Amino acid sequence: MKALMKLIPAFLTLALLLALAAVPLSAAEPDYKYREISTEEELLKLSDDDHYDGNFILTQDITLTKEHSISPIEFFDGTLNGNGHKIIGYKGAAPLFDVLGAAALIKNLTFEDAVVSGGSKVAMLVNTNKGTLWNLTFRNISVTGTGTDIAGVCYDNQASGRIEHIDFEGTVTGNGDRAAGIVIHQRKDATLRYCTVRGKIESNFHVGGIASHLMGGAVMESCLNFATVLARKSRAGGISATNVENSKIINCGNYGEIRAWREGDPNNSGALVAGIGANEKTGFEFRNCFNAGKLITKNTSTAIGGICSYFNVTGDDIAKAFVNCYTVAGLLNRDTDDTATTTQPIGDTDLAAKATSGTVVPAEEWGTRAMVDKLGAGFVLTGDTNAPIGLAADTTPEPQPKVPEPEPTDEPTDEQTKEQETPTGAPTGETEKETTGTPAANNAGCSSALGLGSIALIAAAGVAAGTLRKKKED
């Protein structure tokens, strides 16, 4: 009996160890896995048939050494998690991605020292976006085009597309119609929010600090422009150039210098200059917006306004179009010399400015707590003398990779279950380098772990009982 009592703790210890060892095999099984990327060659394989919809993570900064004459990644529908790393030195005539599918996610990544130069429809990152761009930083970026539609980040943000938390610094230079720091076409039901632009954006017509065109029903929220915006001909806006019917700009502000004049026109007449949106159509709305940037043109006949420069609504519809908007006084400059520093107060003598500047705020009131309270909960005091009012923090959760669909399997019959004598082992992992993502709660995994632990306990009890029986027989 004493010998039996010595054996029982050992059996129980063994059973407990087996139960604990079973838990990581099932309960910690991730919902998705990342394949690691550490080289240029691995990055450019993202469009391969067996890679285009996978989940990938950068394990170090990647410097691109090849000049790509065409977009090397034609279609991508997976996840590229920069993991705080950089892609440095991209050079090409087209974006890094041509098309991002609806399930695509590019996040937590910095692009640095990129040069993209082409004809028309040129952007640094993506041509057509149907997926999600999240928490991306662009530093020292140069995007140029000899034609139309030149953007810092994306040409066309389609209905399912999300562009959020983008910080762009660089130059965007076109030679025709439409240029913007972030996106050319922002479409209905697409998301564009928490974007910041610094540098210089320049072309002939329809030049916007953040976007060029907000298409019918499109919305832009919580964006700031610090860049110089120049339309050599007409339609320069700190946030957007043109908003089509029923588009909205909410919680946005401009600190950049906005310029427009008819280059080549001896009278420099007919240009449109605005701190937020230059040219607006029926049903548009500006809500909780401000202009604190200088507006410059060369001719007094040019339409100019702190919030908007030209629109086609009248009467009571004006009050519906401009809701809680503000312009800092003393920022309007009309002079044949575009470098002149003389200013006149916006809204004082100019009829167009009076109609489109919202409430004119004296310069000494800007940057006060009272001003932030007027703008609303989307803004905060920053302590920065150059930009005293900034955007409030966003609480939207970070998007996660899609969870792969499980492989279809036939449900086992009762007979098959009875015939199974031993539990199946854990599935083998992929042969490629993998890093697990954050697992979600997995009830099935817990059940499996408990099942294995129970089996171990039962086995230990059986051994103990057998030992006891043998002891009695002796």
> Which CATH number among 2.160.20.110, 2.60.120.200, 2.40.50.140, 2.30.30.140 corresponds to the domain 176-401?
2.160.20.110
**Mean pLDDT, the chain, as a whole number?**
79
**What is the arithmetic mean of pLDDT over 253-274?**
81
The pLDDT score that the predictor gives to residue 32 is 67
The pLDDT score that the predictor gives to residue 245 is 78
Q: Give residue 321's pLDDT band: very low, low, confident or very high (50, 70, 90).
A: confident
pLDDT tens readout for residues 284-295: 889 999 999 998
Output 47 or 128, whichever has higher pLDDT: 128
CB 130 within 8 A of CB 155: no
> Quick check: 149 pLDDT over 60?
yes
The pLDDT score that the predictor gives to residue 291 is 94
- Calculate what percentage of the chain has a pLDDT beyond 90: 52
> Which of 164-173, 309-318, 446-455 is predicted most confidently?
164-173
> Quick check: 112 pLDDT over 50?
yes
Closest CA to 77 of 39, 142, 13, 126: 126
Q: Give residue 218's pLDDT band: very low, low, confident or very high (50, 70, 90).
A: very high
Output 65 or 382, whichever has higher pLDDT: 382
Domain positions in the chain are 1-32+455-474, 33-153, 176-401
Output 84 or 444, whichever has higher pLDDT: 84
> Quick check: 103 pLDDT over 90?
yes
CB 270 within 8 A of CB 234: yes
> Quick check: 317 pLDDT over 90?
no
Give the pTM.
0.79
The pLDDT score that the predictor gives to residue 448 is 41
Output 436 or 402, whichever has higher pLDDT: 402
Alpha-carbon separation of residue 186 from 139, 168, 282, 350, 428 (angstroms): 23, 17, 17, 31, 44
52 CB-contact burial (10 Å; exposed 0-12 / middle 13-18 / buried 19+) = middle
Write the DSSP string, 240-296. Answer: EEEE-TT-EEES-EE-S-EEE--TT-TT--S-EEESSEEEE-TT-EEES-EE-S-EE
C-alpha 323: how far from chain center:
27
The pLDDT score that the predictor gives to residue 469 is 47
The helix/strand/coil state of 335 is coil
Structure tokens at 342: 């003389």
The pLDDT score that the predictor gives to residue 254 is 97
The pLDDT score that the predictor gives to residue 348 is 41
pLDDT tens readout for residues 56-77: 999 999 999 877 656 678 999 9
∠ CA 53-98-240, nearest 5°, is 120
Q: Give residue 246's pLDDT band: very low, low, confident or very high (50, 70, 90).
A: confident
The pLDDT score that the predictor gives to residue 266 is 61
The pLDDT score that the predictor gives to residue 141 is 98
CB 331 within 8 A of CB 346: yes
